[in-house]
Structure 1
Amino acid sequence: MLIKFSDLIQAREQVEERVRELTQRLRNEAEEFLDQYRKSLYTPQDSWSDGQREYPYARLMNITDQGMYTQQSIKTLALDDENTISFLMATVINENIQGGQWIYVPIRMSLNNRSVIVTAGNSGREEVPLGGEGNSYYDACCLVKELVLSQIKSRFPN
């Protein structure tokens, strides 16, 4: 079998294209998930203000190498070695203080055939039809809200 340099280049380009496609699909799904999650909170408006800035009630975040939380754009989500995207789903639980008080739930999303697998925290996992709209992320949203509620309650035990 004769393998030419051009064969190697072509193979690399095909893999890169598949990675781009998968990344974009997962970004689209993350955007839909965030949108459905925000709607599932039934907030009075789309955002709230602390007098200095406007904030959404839920947003995507990540942690920097220095341990600081920063807002993450859906456009910057990238595949890891396991072909998943990861982020923190941040939900404000007190908008009456400067910058708000937030709860962060780690989220991982991957594709499995025609489904999106959403893993929330260390234990919760939901399967969502790929390209779903409406309330397709309902169970995943409930899972995130249960984890937020659990974190709130763990801070103030009975």
Structure 2
Amino acid sequence: MTYLLIGLAAIAIIILLAIFTDKFKKSGNSSKKAGSSGTQTKKTGPNGEVLMVECPLCNTPLQKGQNLISKVFRPMDVPDQRCNISGCPHCYPQPEPGIKRICPCCGKEVPITGYLVARLFNYKDNKKHVRVTGCSRCCERK
């Protein structure tokens, strides 16, 4: 009888730990996404389509039809490519008044002749993902 009670108590503790760790993981992921710096913010619609993306240099929201000015290096058929991001229409070739071009990695101002160094990942389902590794100044020092 004693062993049965100990076994039931152990099972109850395992179930409670599983529930609490699952809740902890969910709350930790949402706070990490909301407060992480250096990531591009996307606002999605009800069907999952991207409505608005921010420029990684100046954090200005890009409207539909506005694109980042970038250069992707060859070869084009590999899953990982290097690319340089010069900016958006608000910060390149001439920044609008009050717009500052800040590197998301080192936090320093990027000159108009500078750019962000990034990796472009091409997935098999034709989706693309860009990860900024730094600006032309801080990647030069690495």
TM-score normalised per structure 2: 0.31
TM-score normalised per structure 1: 0.28
Identify the structure with bigger relative contact order (alpha carbons < 8 Å, sequence gap 6+): 1
Which structure has more strand as a fraction of its residues? 1
Which structure has more helix as a fraction of its residues? 1
